[in-house]
Structures are given as structure tokens and as C-alpha cells.
A and B are shown apart, each in its own frame.
Chain A
Amino acid sequence: MQPQDFKSNDPIAWCPGCGNFGILTALQKALSKLDKAPKDILLVSGIGQAAKLPHYIKANCFNGLHGRALPVASAAKMVNPELSVIVSTGDGDCYGEGGNHFLHNIRRNIDITVIVHNNQIYGLTKGQASPTTDQGYNTKIQREGVILNRFNSLAVAIASGCGFVARGFSRQTDDLAELMVKAIKHRGFSLLEVMQPCVSFNKVNTYEWYAERLYKVEEDSSYNPKDMEAALIRSFEWGDKIPMGIIYHSETDTYQDRIGKDKNPFLNQNYNDISEILEDFV
């Protein structure tokens, strides 16, 4: 398969220069390396600019409600484990509206991949603070600057038992595609957060801003992504230097392993004769 085999004919509605274009390119590249037909891939999204991405890819798509991509994606994987399920979500969709699902689906450790487009701003509603907006950032609503703590998604994910926690940059599409492939191949819930500038509403966290700060953790040859303590420390790094690459990686048994591999409701839709169990109600 080639990346163009995963292009849909739906016209793209993002702003020119949007950081999402890099994510789209990287994902098409990553999907072409999976050895999977588009019909066996399901992209799930909620609402926001990130949620439009599945329309631009030739693969199955469920574009649902704001914040609710994860429950849809998890259930799809539960009933049809043969599907490769990838969520395309944003910082507002995943950490704000859908925060509870983020926590509990990490606990489920379902074998899905969650790609969070993090631009640290609400784009589709025109520039309000998101859970990842830095303190002090001014908006039309947060007029004196954001006063809430920045949500540290990577630290929360590691602490909640997520076995694959990574960060990428939408401008570096080759590296990003490689991270995506690894995230998808990871057995269990994988979180890949992609720093992705919003060219229309975020005038602080620009391409340049990220380019100056993001560095690859693997540049430090002693860094061991299996070391949870080291990963947690690294996940708190935010400011002049921001780590990217695979921050934490450790495989444990997945939801599917825990319930037994033979569970595949999609393939086992034999109809139920309840005459026998009715005798339990005698």
C-alpha cells in the first residue's frame, strides 16, 4: 500500500498552514506501512479540527460527539478485535470534554491508538483556553490570562498505567509517521500527543516556538523508556525544553488478554436459545 491509497476525496476544511496537515500526511504514511486494508481500519473522532481528520483518510470512520470518541473506539475494538482502531482527537476533546473516558480507557488498556492533536487552544470555537493552554495565556474569555494549571496528559497517562506514551511534532512528518506505526503496533492503549500549531488562534505556541523547545529523548543514550520513574520525571519537563519521542513504553496484558482471546462478538453472532436458562427461573 502507498500513502495515497489512504487519501479520501473529501475536500479539506482546515485553515491554510494548519498543523493538522502534517498529522494527516504522517498518518497516511503510517497506515501504508501497516499491511492492512482500509476496510479493516477504523478511525474514530469526536468534535474539533482534529475530529475532521478521518474524513480525509480512506478508511472506516466514526465521527461522533464531542469528547466521546474513546467509548465508541473502545467498544468497537471490544466487539471486533480484528479492526485496527485509531482515535483522532484534540486537547479539548480528549482531556476536557472527554477527560473521564481518557482516564478509564487507559485503565481498560484496550488495544487502540489515541492521537491527540495538541495545539494548546480551542480552534473550532475560535481561540478559548484548552486544558493544555499555558498559565497566563490571554484569550477573549480568559482576559487576565489562564489561571488554571496546565493538564499534564503524559504524566497522567503514565501514572494511570498507559503502556505507550509518546510525543511528536506535526512538522516532522517522517518521525511522526514512525511514532504512529509504533503506537499502532503497541499492544494496549497507546497515547501519541502531537504538538500542532494553530496558525489562526495561537500566536504564542507557533511552529518556531515548538521547534526551539522540542528535543528527542532518544538523543540521551542513557534514557530508558521502560523506566517509569525516569519517564515520569521527563513528562514534567515543560518550558525551555520539551521532550518528544517515546517517553514511556512497557507492554502489559490488554483488555482482550484479560477477558480471553476467544471473545469476538462480531464473529460469534449465533443466536441464543434461552429455553435452557429459562429453567433457572422455575
Chain B
Amino acid sequence: MIEELNIRITGEAGQGMNTIGVVISKTFKEAGYHIFSHQDYMSRIRGGNNFYQIRVSTDPVHSPRERIDILIPLTAEALKIHEKSLDEDNIAIVDKKRFNVENCENYFCIDFYNLADEAGGNDIYVNAVCAGTLAAISGIDMDIVRKVLSDIFSSKGNKIVSNNKKAAELGFHKTKDTFDTEKFQLKKGNKSPRYILTGKQAVGLGAISAGCKFYSAYPMSPSTGVMETVAQYAEKFGIMVEQAEDEIAAVNMVIGASACGVRSMVSTSGGGFALMGEGISLAGMTETPLVVGNFQRPGPATGFPTRTEQADLNLVLGAGHGEFAKVIYTPGTIEESFYLTKRAFNISEKYQIPVIILSDQFLADSARNIDKFDFDREAIERDYITAEEAKKIKDYKRYKLTSSGVSPRAVFSLIDEVIYLDSDEHTEEGHITEEAEIREAMVNKRYHKKMKSLIEEFIGPVVYKLEKAEKVFFCFGSIFPVLKESLESIDSNRLAMIHLPQVWPINKNKIISLIKNAKNVYTVENNAEGQLAKLLRRETGVEVNSSILKYDGRPFTLDELSAHISDVVKSK
């Protein structure tokens, strides 16, 4: 009996790989296992080669593996591409006839396309056949597969549900009858967390939960899933979702809605974010709350549209010309994606600033099963002058100078007085000025005073095994789970990690006190420059000894990063 199973389903774009991925993930989850899935796909709608990889385990899992146990190629081409990852310990499930395979010695040969045809007269049922086959191989009860198929396909009608069930049953029985399925039988799973979410869904739900009522964006991989999630529930929650003509329009629309006192959000990827730079600066100047998601993909320019990288850190740190306070959150998990999105709304409104959620394709598209969110965490804190409060106000000044740098924010029509918001340097009333004295006071307000409070609002860092460690690894964003699991697998008290869920502004004293006993400091990053290492040096004076960097557009796997870390440890 085994405790972990890694499955890779691979084929062309358009073969329904997402559906089979979801069916299999849910099946194992329902059977009491922990799952982690991630996707590797090309920037095309049909053809090419994509894969959906699922890690199933009796214990919680948070990162992808290099090795796979079961390969399910849906085409002969896919088999050829992924065959190199096969060895004596793993298997490929192969349709001999369809793929023109002569020798089945190294494969599990099963005529799954025939079975699909028998079940529903259509190749698409191969997905359900595979689900049945996997259930047989790993020892999952067919009742669970049937239930999952019913849940997923119920909206498509009884016929589709029964065809899928039949296909799964055919796959299940054929596998049982044909193969010795002992090798990959999983130890019994305990109760596992109830919900399966991707990073992009967690951000979308976070926004809805934060009371977002206006969402505008221009579609761009890998951020579009956030807009889809919000749009899915727009009707239910009275959210206005508007597809903008370009990213410049999107960010300006969100600023317009937010200036009206409505919680609003925009998401994009690096290229679109670059176009939004001026808008971010506008939010800083007009002191309008703004929440922007940047789901990174590899650049420069169009780069790899559907792959992952963490190379926009510098871009985001420098986003917006001029000097003004802003905050950058870098969630590393599904849960952090949810809570930090909620926090982004609160902080952006409390300080009337832009807040950026910096995620990436890997986190956006990977899924894990998680427990119910704590809805009281990062609970909504609205911050504007209500109609009731407005009645007591005379001579309202939108940019009134205060000790905190934050001026009470009135919104149009809730107050009898008029409000002037201005992108020019302005007086307390919001009118254009060129006075040096006012300029200095306003810069102090927008930058120094707000930054002072924001450093106190610094959240995290998340630390692991810091007590006795000599070697400390820093990371931000989606590296967190794979780094933590790598350190767990190496299990040395000499090694520790610090994850930064917030990279701006950085609380220098907090960071320095955390690593006072460390002899060596490293970073692990999905970029070529070691952007986090440079940020740490600039902001805290911490000298990073070296960085483990990956910039091939793919995420670190657990095996790969563990090996890198072992190398680092060996080199004294």
C-alpha cells in the first residue's frame, strides 16, 4: 500500500483535460485524500500538448512532484512527449489500437477509446473511462466515482450523467479484469478538507467576500479566471462586471467606481499591469482606494502567456511614477490568496491607496483541497463618511492635512458639499496649485505619513523552523509551499525559511530580528535576477549569500527544490 500517488493526464488542448482533472481531483478528495493539482498548458485552444498533474496523498500536500506514478496520455503524441518520465516504478495507461503501439510490455494497455465509444458513442467519454481505471488501480470505491460524475454533469442532463457513469464502470471493470492492481493501491484516506479551490478562484471569492461591487478588467491569461469567478456570482451579489476596452480603461474605471465609494477591483498580468502604471499613480495622487491583481507570467513582452514566473516584482515595486504609499501582497497559498485579497480591500480603503496582489500563473491555476475559510478573518472594515456623519460636516476638504496623512473620505452625493478630486498637485480643497509649501505637505501626507503607518501594518512573515537555524531561505508568493515541503523533507534543524506575504512596505526591524542568528541567507525565486534578494539588501541591508533561481516558465517541483537545497547545504 502506498501513501502518495502522482498522476499526469496529458493530451491536446480541447480534449477536455480540465474536466478529467476535476473529476479525478474530486474523486480522490471524496475518498478522503488530500490533493494538489497544477496545470501546464500552451497558449492555444486546440492541439499542442498540455498536462494536468494531480498529487494524491494521505497527508496534506502543497506542491508538485517531479516524478509521476501514472501517466495517462490521451494521444500517441502525448505518450511520445512524456514517455521519458517512465521507468520501472511507474506506468502509462495506453490505448494500444488508437496509438498504434505494438508492444504492451511497458504499459497498461487498455482500449479506453473503444470503451468510451461503447458508453456514449463519443471520444469525450474517455475522461470518465480514465476515472474508472484510476479508481480500480488505486482502490477507490466505484460509488464515489459515480457520485462525483453525477455532481459534475448533472447540469447537462441525465443522459450525459448515465453515459459518463457507464464509461467509468467500463474502465473500472476492464482494469480490474486485465491488470494486477496491487502496486498502486492507496492506504485508506482519512477525512480530507471539503473544498477544492484554485488560486484565482480564491482571489475572486476573496473579492466577493470583501464586498467588491464593481470589477473591470481586460481578459489576459492567467488573470481571467478571477473575472470569471466574480462574473459567475455577479447576479447573486449585485456586482457589476465590465469588460474594458483595454487595461488603461479597466484601471481608470475601477478608480472611477471606487471614487464613488464602491469597493472595486481589477486584475491583469504583467503586460496589462505595465499599461496600468499611470492609473496606479492616479490612485496614489487622488487618494482613491484601488485593488489590483497582477498574475505574473514570464515576460518580457508577450513572453510565455500561459506559464509561470515571479519576475514582475521590480515592476510592481516601481509601479506608478512619482512617490506615494502603496502596499504589495504576495500570497503563497490558496488560503493566503483569499485572506490577502480581503485585506487588500480594507487597507486600500483605510489608507486611500493602491494595493497590489502579486500572484502568478502557477498559484492561479493550481488547486488544493482546503478547509472552510474563517469568514471573520480580515472582516470588512469600511472607511468613508456616511450620510449621517456628513450632516455634521461644514467646509469639507477632501485633502485635509492630518497627523496620519489620511483625510476623512467623503463620497459624491452622500455629503451636501461638493468634492474635488485631482491628479494635479492640489490644495486641501482639491484645486490645482503650484505652491512649494503645499507640495511638500502633500508629499509628506501621501508618502511619509502613510508609509509610517503601513510599516506597522506589515503582515507576516511566515517562518518555519527558525529557532536554531544557521541557514535561512527567504521566498515570496507561490514559492512558499514548495520551499516549506522541501525543508520538511530534508528535516534539518540547521535549515529554516521565511515567507513574505507582504513585500512592500517592508518592516526592516522585524526582518532583521528574525535572522539575527542566521549565518547564511538565501532566496528561492522564480526569476533570473534574484529580485527578492536585491529588495532585501536595499530595504534591510541583509546580504543574501546566493539565490536558487528558476526561470524556464515552470514552477519548482518538490524534488527539484529539495535537491537544490541539499546542494546548498553541502557547499558548507
Contacts and interface: CB of A to CB of B under 8 A. Distances in A.
| The 5 A-B residue pairs with the shortest CB-CB distance in the complex, in nearest-first order | A75-B256, A72-B256, A265-B213, A71-B252, A75-B253
B373 A278 contact: yes
B18 interface: no
A268 B261 CA distance: 11
B412 interface: yes
Contacts of B208: 272, 274, 277
13 contacts: A39-B417, A47-B423, A60-B420, A61-B430, A62-B286, A64-B423, A79-B213, A101-B245, A101-B249, A275-B375, A278-B373, A281-B196, A282-B196
A79 B196 contact: no
B353 interface: no
Contacts of B279: 65, 68
Interface in B415-461: 415-424, 429-432
A272 B379 CA distance: 11
A76 B256 contact: yes
A141 interface: no
Nearest to B259: A62
Interface string A5-45: 00010100100000000000000000000000111101010
Contact of B257 (A13, A44, A76, A277): A76
A100 B252 CA distance: 13
A10 B259 CA distance: 22
Nearest to A10: B431
B527 interface: no
Contacts of A52: 432
B246 interface: yes
B115 to A, nearest CB: 28
Given A39-B417, A72-B253, A83 B239 contact: no
Nearest to B282: A65
B260 A266 contact: yes
B282 to A, nearest CB: 5
Given A61-B418, A65-B423, A72 B255 contact: yes
A176 B233 CA distance: 45
Contacts of B382: 269
Interface size class for chain B? 35 or more
Interface string A66-79: 00101111111011
Contacts of B233: 274, 277
A109 B462 CA distance: 49
A73 B257 CA distance: 9
A98 to B, nearest CB: 9
A104 interface: yes
Interface in B233-252: 233, 236-240, 242, 244-246, 248-250, 252
B202 to A, nearest CB: 9
B412 A80 contact: yes
A60 B263 CA distance: 19
A277 B231 CA distance: 13
B383 interface: no
Interface in B199-258: 201, 205, 208-209, 211, 213-214, 216, 233, 236-240, 242, 244-246, 248-250, 252-257
Nearest to A262: B238
A223 to B, nearest CB: 33
B195 interface: yes
B195 A282 contact: yes
Contacts of B417: 39
Nearest to A273: B375
B372 interface: yes
B245 A100 contact: yes
Contact of A79 (B201, B236, B260): B260
Contacts of A58: 418
Contact of B375 (A39, A76, A274): A274
B412 A83 contact: yes
Contacts of B216: 75
A47 B375 CA distance: 43
Give the most central of B151, B279, B418, B429: most A CB within 10 Å. B418
Given A104-B249, A281-B201, A265 B262 contact: yes
Contact of B263 (A70, A76, A269): A269
B520 to A, nearest CB: 41
A76 B419 CA distance: 14
Contact of B420 (A55, A76, A82): A55
A190 interface: no
Contact of B412 (A42, A277, A278): A42
Interface in B244-296: 244-246, 248-250, 252-257, 259-264, 278-279, 282, 286
A265 B412 CA distance: 14
B506 interface: no
A55 B250 CA distance: 25
B197 interface: yes
B238 to A, nearest CB: 5
Contacts of B375: 273-275
B380 interface: yes
B432 to A, nearest CB: 6
B413 interface: yes
A200 B426 CA distance: 26
Contacts of B159: none
A38 B422 CA distance: 18
